[in-house]
Amino acid sequence: MPVFKRLILYMKPYWWRILLAALASSAYGGLDAAFAYMVEPLLKKIFMSKDVFIFSFLPLAIILIFVFRAICRYANDYFMNTAAQLAVQDVRNEIFRKNIFLDLSFFYRNQTGSLMSRIVNDVAAMQNGVGGIVSGIFRDAIGFFSLLGVIFYRDWQLALISILVIPLTIYPASILGKKMKRTARKGQEEAGLFASILQETLSGIKVVKAFSLEKSMVEQFKNANLKYYSFNRKMIKYNSLSSPISEVITSLGIAAVIFFGGSKVMANEMSAPEFFSFITAMALLYSPLKKLINSYNGIQQCIGASERVFEIIDAVPEIIDSPNGYKLTQSDNRVELRHVYFKYQDDYILEDVCLVAEKGQMVALVGPSGGGKSTLVSLIARFFDTSEGQVLIGTRDVRDISKESLMEHIALVDQETILFHDTVANNIRYGKPGATDDEIIKAAQAAFAHDFIMEMPNGYQTSIGDRGIRLSGGQRQRICIARAILKNAPILILDEATSALDTESEQMVQKALENLMADRTTFVIAHRLSTVIHADKIVVLEKGKIVESGSHTALLENNELYSRLCSQQFGSEKKIDA
Ligand SMILES: Nc1ncnc2c1ncn2[C@@H]1O[C@H](COP(=O)(O)OP(=O)(O)O)[C@@H](O)[C@H]1O
Ligand SMILES: [Mg+2]
């Protein structure tokens, strides 16, 4: 569907505002024409018949007409702009709703800053377009056509001469418009780029400071800004060109009309008041025409931005939720990976991975970093689909399970400890919406987070992210663990969940997790091997392949990668047993 038509469709729900605006703008546009028309009788009455009565009422009438015109203008602008604003608000809600439901891989492919720029800058550009422009179009189109009526009524031959120039103004306008659309799109892309730089610099401010990157960041930002300017300069060039070009061309029309009209008046074929009425209408006519041309350019810019917005609205998730997906039951706790291959881009990250976690078992994934451990567990939660092979929960392929049910079934404590700008209590409550304060406190106690939470200024009601509230990595992890404990799901995934804890609190949290793991199927990824010694099965992943698996003792006897890793961490095997 053409982009502009789509934009208009967003305005449909607000039709009554548009109708009111249209009525007001008809009156407004019509008044110009009426005024131009009235020039003839008024000039006749006042200057030829010297009608004192009309002359004395004229100032009052003019004021009244302009007050009425002002009211119409206000109503037109108000209703049209609020309609546009509401429509764009719908667009913004939709882009966010569509965006957030896209797959994780979409967010890995696109930079956060650039996505933010689409939702903020591009939607704002749409708003300028739809709001300012559409409201003008109504008024100007009605003004233009009613004035056209007046000039044709006055003298159709002269009218034909004066409108001959219109096609001449439209041609350069359409060329400029196309250029603007292209430039606007590129400009929005540049804006996205510098939003990315901004976002990365601000979120990585500590690293920027630590490596004294301020100057080079300033340089990068300056360059991106300069590039953005070069697009804006083009836009300004095209925008500034459009009025002068159309003015020069319309002057041809005015010149021709004065010449031919003037000759008619001199030959007594036309009265002077008629001629002035004609000239007034024509002078007024070119102004809405010029504005219509500018609106056209504005619409082209707006379409450039809208295309980028619709790209996201139209993006289709690759991971499709099966329509009548299977709903998992409490007994569906067995997890199996069958000959799983997976790649993000070109290279396989996982190759021929076969793995079974029986109900209630604890499976530990160990191995060098970059081996594919996090990737493997993200396949269980179906953040990505396998390239080949199957992931089964219970007896079902994850692709046949309803996504909602799958997410309810899995609690994940990720290596990235994400907390939202909200109270501590609410951050834990994300694990189970609607959980009571009591449940939250229990979960926090189990995660050994209760004590430090109580020491915060407002306890559980302290807002995370407020000034002065700085949590340590270990504290953040414990809040994330509390969230997972509260969720109480049958399958638990712990991806380096305790890596930021000191040894003492790790031991405590470990105990809590062990309680949690009881009759749950658990996947644990851990750097510290001491935490996985008691796992039912330890799987060693290296470069995307399972190189070993078995119990701690069996793997030690194997004398391969695992036992090497153990001796690196513990110094000697004996110490572990001790
Ligand atoms: N989103 C991603 N896009 C592309 N490659 C990725 C992505 N995430 C991880 N990788 C790559 O996949 C490999 C395995 O990563 P990961 O599963 O995080 O390993 P581990 O958790 O064992 O350290 C690494 O080579 C990493 O570069
Ligand atoms: Mg990892």
Residues in the chain: 578
What CA–CA distance (Å, rounded) separates 89 from 573? 63
The pLDDT-based confidence of 572 (bands split at 50, 70, 90) is: low
Domain check: are 293 and 348 in the same one? no
553-566 burial: b if 16+ Cβ within 10 Å, else e: eebbeeeebbbebb
What CA–CA distance (Å, rounded) separates 389 from 367? 22
One-character DSSP codes across 194-224? HHHHHHHHHHTHHHHHHTT-HHHHHHHHHHH
The pLDDT-based confidence of 574 (bands split at 50, 70, 90) is: very low
In a domain, 293, yes or no: yes
Domain check: are 240 and 380 in the same one? no
| Residue 1 in this model has a pLDDT that exceeds 90 | no
Handedness of CA 478, 483, 487, 490 (dihedral sign): negative
- If you take atom 8 of ligand 1, which residue's CA is the nearest one? 375
In a domain, 27, yes or no: yes
**Ligand 1 near 465 CB (within 6 A):** no
The SS3 call for residue 544 is: coil
> pLDDT for 353-401, tens place per residue?
999 999 989 999 999 989 999 999 999 999 999 999 999 999 999 999 9
Please count the structural domains in the chain: 2
**Ligand 1 near 370 CB (within 6 A):** yes
In a domain, 324, yes or no: no
Domain boundary among the residues 280, 314, 348 is at 314
**Ligand 1 near 372 CB (within 6 A):** yes
502-538 burial: b if 16+ Cβ within 10 Å, else e: eeebbeebbebbeebbeebbbbbbbeebbbbeebebb
444 Rama class: left (phi>0) / alpha (psi -120 to 50) / beta: alpha
In ligand 1, the atom with minimum distance to the C-alpha of 415 is 21
Tokens of 158: 């002269």
Domain check: are 66 and 102 in the same one? yes
**Ligand 1 near 374 CB (within 6 A):** yes
pLDDT for the residue numbered 577: 46
What pTM was computed for the model? 0.79
- If you take atom 17 of ligand 1, which residue's CA is the nearest one? 372
CATH (domain of 54): 1.20.1560.10
> pLDDT for 141-152, tens place per residue?
888 888 899 889
> pLDDT for 109-134, tens place per residue?
888 888 998 898 888 888 877 776 66
Tokens of 55: 């002359």
**How many angstroms is it from 545 CA to the middle of ligand 1?**
13
Domain check: are 310 and 339 in the same one? no
**Ligand 1 near 108 CB (within 6 A):** yes
What CA–CA distance (Å, rounded) separates 381 from 342? 14
> pLDDT for 219-271, tens place per residue?
999 998 899 899 889 988 988 888 888 888 888 888 888 899 999 999 998 88
**Ligand 1 near 369 CB (within 6 A):** yes
Are 140 and 298 contacting, i.e. CB atoms less than 8 angstroms apart?
no
Please state the rounded mean pLDDT for residues 293-308: 84
CATH (domain of 516): 3.40.50.300
In ligand 1, the atom with minimum distance to the C-alpha of 104 is 1
Please state the rounded mean pLDDT for residues 545-568: 88
**How many angstroms is it from 410 CA to the middle of ligand 1?**
21
**How many angstroms is it from 59 CA to the middle of ligand 2?**
81
**How many angstroms is it from 415 CA to the middle of ligand 2?**
7
In a domain, 330, yes or no: no
In a domain, 326, yes or no: no
**How many angstroms is it from 543 CA to the middle of ligand 2?**
13
Mean pLDDT of the chain: 87
In a domain, 329, yes or no: no
Are 289 and 158 contacting, i.e. CB atoms less than 8 angstroms apart?
no
What is the extent of the structural domain holding 554? 335-577
> pLDDT for 197-224, tens place per residue?
888 888 889 899 999 999 999 999 999 8
Tokens of 300: 């082209």
Percent of the chain at pLDDT > 90 equals 35
In a domain, 323, yes or no: no
